[in-house]
């Protein structure tokens, strides 16, 4: 069996498993898994920049919030239905990513991290400043009647799960195609040795900018979907912690792997969920787990599997 066939079988098997779980999971875990799939899309977007291109961003909440507010404002202010509102969120994310990329990519390394963090903080403060429109920290609820798409009620648990699954499946397929395409291989070359890629004649700035736009747009899709499917838009999703979360998820699952973002999101979500039932210091437990994994699985869970067992994993 070729590596491509193994890749299709593994990832197709995961999608089949997620589809099948819809019919057997109890209500609590059913809702959790829908949430995890949407957040995993956010992590996949981050992974395009960090895992495959080598750009460490500390401001990805800006893209997530751009998609969420682009969708939410379209519904609240323009009366848009879910489909046009989602498109509005994607456009908002792409525009913000293009603007940030054009400016931030003039820097590198630590300076790039700081610039992305500053832009994200500016976005968060803008949400608070224009609280009369955005409702600031309080946020706003998207009513059930506003979440009807072609007669389908997205507030219904089953419909919400299928919508999250479709988004996750499309983004996973897109990432698999991207990393195996010539463009994706150039991104990996830039990550490994930027100067050598430049000497080979590749336009490094252009490739990085496209990677930022793709990453921001996918993260915006996750933000828009999260607000639409779970019915809430708030400034919390633009804060620093939502810039740190995708970094943790990708590091835990395995940077530069297609499945790493999903596994990392799943692991961290349930670790926090279960530990919060035991102690209020649940982030301490999450921190200890992160340190242990960093020491004993420095490439992340899927990264270690790739390095030790399945070297063909994309």
Q: Dump pLDDT digits (tens) for 137-186.
A: 888 888 888 888 888 888 899 999 999 999 999 999 999 999 999 999 99
The answer to whether the beta carbons of residues 58 and 244 sit under 8 Å apart is yes
Is the model more confident about 305 or about 221?
221
Query: 125: which 2 tokens?
Result: 């403060």
Name the nearest CA neighbour of 204 among 283, 106, 280, 79: 106
pLDDT on residue 62: 95
Angle between helices 27-47 and 260-275 (to 10 degrees): 130
Cα-based torsion angle of the residue sequence 297, 300, 301, 302 in order, rounded to the nearest 10 degrees: -130
Helical ranges in 181-259 per DSSP H: 182-192, 194-199, 204-230, 241-253
The answer to whether the beta carbons of residues 43 and 66 sit under 8 Å apart is no
Please give the C-alpha separations between residue 201 and each of 53, 55, 178, in angstroms, as whole numbers: 17, 20, 20
Q: Is the pLDDT of residue 202 over 80?
A: yes
Query: 138: which 2 tokens?
Result: 């309080």
Average pLDDT over residues 235-252: 91
Read off the DSSP letter of residue 141. E
Q: Give percent of the chain above pLDDT 70.
A: 100
Please give the C-alpha separations between residue 22 and each of 87, 166, 259, in angstroms, as whole numbers: 27, 12, 20
Express each pLDDT in 105-146 by its tens digit: 999 888 999 999 999 999 999 999 988 888 888 888 888 888
Read off the DSSP letter of residue 152. E
Q: Report the C-alpha gap between 28 and 64 in whole angstroms.
A: 25
Please report where in the chains the tokens 């973002």 appear, as a residue: 261
């Amino acid at each position: 069996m070729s590596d491509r066939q193994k890749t299709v079988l593994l990832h197709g098997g995961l999608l089949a498993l997620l589809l099948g779980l819809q019919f057997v999971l109890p209500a609590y875990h059913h809702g959790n898994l829908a949430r995890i799939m949407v957040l995993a899309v956010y992590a996949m977007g981050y992974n395009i920049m960090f895992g495959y291109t080598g750009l460490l961003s500390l401001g990805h909440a800006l893209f997530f919030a751009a998609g969420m507010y682009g969708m939410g404002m379209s519904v609240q202010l323009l009366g848009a239905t879910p489909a046009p509102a989602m498109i509005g969120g994607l456009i908002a994310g792409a525009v913000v990513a293009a603007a940030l990329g054009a400016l931030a990519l003039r820097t590198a390394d630590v300076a790039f991290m700081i610039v992305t963090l500053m832009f994200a903080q500016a976005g968060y403060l803008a949400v608070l400043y224009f609280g009369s429109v955005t409702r600031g920290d309080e946020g706003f609820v998207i009513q059930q009647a506003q979440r009807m798409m072609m007669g389908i009620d997205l507030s219904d648990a089953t419909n919400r799960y299928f919508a999250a699954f479709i988004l996750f499946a499309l983004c996973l397929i897109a990432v698999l195609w991207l990393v195996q395409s010539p463009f994706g291989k150039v991104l990996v070359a830039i990550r490994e040795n930027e100067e050598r890629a430049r000497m080979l004649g590749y336009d490094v700035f252009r490739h990085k900018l496209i990677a930022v736009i793709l990453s921001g747009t996918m993260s915006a899709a996750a933000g828009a979907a999260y607000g639409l499917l779970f019915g809430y838009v708030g400034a919390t999703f633009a804060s620093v912690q939502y810039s740190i979360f995708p970094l943790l998820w990708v590091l835990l699952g395995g940077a530069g792997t297609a499945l790493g973002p999903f596994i990392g999101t799943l692991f961290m979500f349930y670790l926090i969920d279960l530990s919060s039932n035991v102690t209020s210091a649940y982030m301490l437990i999450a921190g200890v787990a992160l340190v242990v994994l960093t020491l004993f699985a420095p490439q992340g869970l899927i990264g270690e599997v790739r390095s030790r067992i399945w070297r063909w994993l994309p």
